[in-house]
Amino acid sequence: MPIDLKQFRQHLIYKAQAPVAKIIDDLQEIAEVDHLAELKQKEYGQQTLYYFLGIIITVVLMLVAPNAITNTGLQSVLVALFALAIIVLSIGFIYALVNRFKFGRINVVNSRYQSTQRILQMLSRDMDANADIELQLSFQPIEKDEYKTNTTPHPIKSGWKIDHYQHEWLKIQGQFLDKTRFELSATDISKKQYGWKRGSSGKSKYKSKTKSGGLDINLNITYPQRRYGAVKLLKNEATNAIKLSRLAHLRGLRITDKAMHIVVRVAPNVVGSPEEVYQTITAMFLSVYQILNLAKVLSKQNI
């Protein structure tokens, strides 16, 4: 079933519980819609500019041209034609502006569906082809009230404030062939500082600046205790077994005989890189299974 574009445009969220192949097809459709939206937004953006310039030129001509004509009747006709042209151009301007906004609404962040497609392809290698996976993928901007966690005074600039945001834009749940269940999520971290700043002229101007705090990737793994129960014996060695790129670092690791929870922070400068997000998540899964495979060996020895 194709994606409901009206629903997607309204909420900018894709939800599904289906086999990986079906979800990847849906993401490809989102990619095609996004590509069309980019082209249409650019096209209508150019039209908006041309209509605006046309209005300005017509207004100037309407003010100047009649002065070069002495015939009063002809002046009136000329003014009426210019006025009609302005009305037509204004209608075209509004139409182009509305369509530019409409297509801009579904011109989503490319990196989100690009990284998600690759993550799903990676996960599917160790899953039943017919098994369902749960996915929630949000393309909403982070600066929304529902994603604001708190507001604090600026530590240096008097009268300024800082809004803190967290947006979980990706959530995937599924099960591997070995009955291990996983839950993966990616959360954007951001803060916006804003306030009034007095310029050299003495006038106060409102200023704001948004800065990324990075991307938190959470991975929860729940495994069969009989097969991997010895993992709790590896708690001290587990931290060193987590191998990440230099642009990501481990923020938390919790291990029990039934589950493992890992939190990794990706650096702010590569948050928008599908390749870096994919490589980090792949490294997290590989590190987890390096620990679990060793635990499996220990569990067999203890039987």
Which pLDDT belongs to residue 120? Answer: 96
* Residues 196 and 285 placed together within one structural domain of the fold: yes
pLDDT in tens, 211-267: 999 999 999 999 887 777 777 777 777 888 888 988 999 999 998 888 999 999 999
E strands present in the chain: 13-19, 132-138, 148-153, 161-175, 181-198, 204-222, 248-255, 259-266
Token pair listed for 182: 């996983």
Same domain, 62 and 197: no
Lowest mean per-residue pLDDT among 52-56, 78-82, 120-124, 189-193? 78-82
Q: At 92, is the pLDDT very low, low, confident or very high (cuts 50, 70, 90)?
A: very high
Same domain for 44 and 75, yes or no, is yes
Residue 23 lies in a domain: no
Give the pLDDT score at 233: 73
Tell me how long the chain is. 303
Q: Are residues 261 and 143 in the same domain?
A: yes
C-alpha span between 240 and 188 (Å, rounded): 26
Task: List pLDDT tens digits, range 256-298.
Answer: 888 999 999 999 999 989 999 999 999 999 999 888 888 777 7
32 falls within a domain: no
Is residue 27 domain-resident?
no
Residue 137 lies in a domain: yes
CA dihedral for 148, 118, 36, 19, sign (positive or negative): negative
Residue from 132, 163, 169 nearest 11 by CA: 169
3 domain residue, yes or no: no
pLDDT bucket at 299, cuts 50 / 70 / 90? low
Is the confidence at residue 1, as pLDDT, over 60? no
pTM beyond 0.75: yes
Q: Is residue 18, in this structure, part of any structural domain at all?
A: no
Residue 261: beta bridge partners? 220, 254
The answer to whether residues 261 and 162 belong to one domain is: yes
Residues 91 and 155 in one domain: no
169-191 tens-digit pLDDT: 999 999 999 889 999 999 999 99
- Domain count along the chain: 2
Q: Are residues 126 and 174 in the same domain?
A: yes
Contacts of 226 (CB under 8 A, 6+ apart): 299
- For residue 261, the tally of other CB atoms under 10 A from its CB is 15
Please provide the distance, in angstroms rounded to a whole number, between the alpha carbons at the two ends of the chain: 49
- Tell me, yes or no, whether 117 and 258 share the same domain: yes
Note whether 135 and 200 are same-domain residues: yes
Parent domain of 91: 40-105
Domain ends where: 56, 79, 105?
Answer: 105
Asked whether residue 20 is assigned to any structural domain, the reply reads no
Tokens coding 170: 């990706």
Q: 169 and 202 share a domain? A: yes
Q: Are residues 126 and 262 in the same domain?
A: yes
- 74, 105, 136: which is the final residue of a domain? 105
Asked if residue 127 and residue 90 are part of one domain, the reply reads no
For residue 170, being part of any structural domain is answered with yes
Final residue of a structural domain among 105, 137, 162: 105
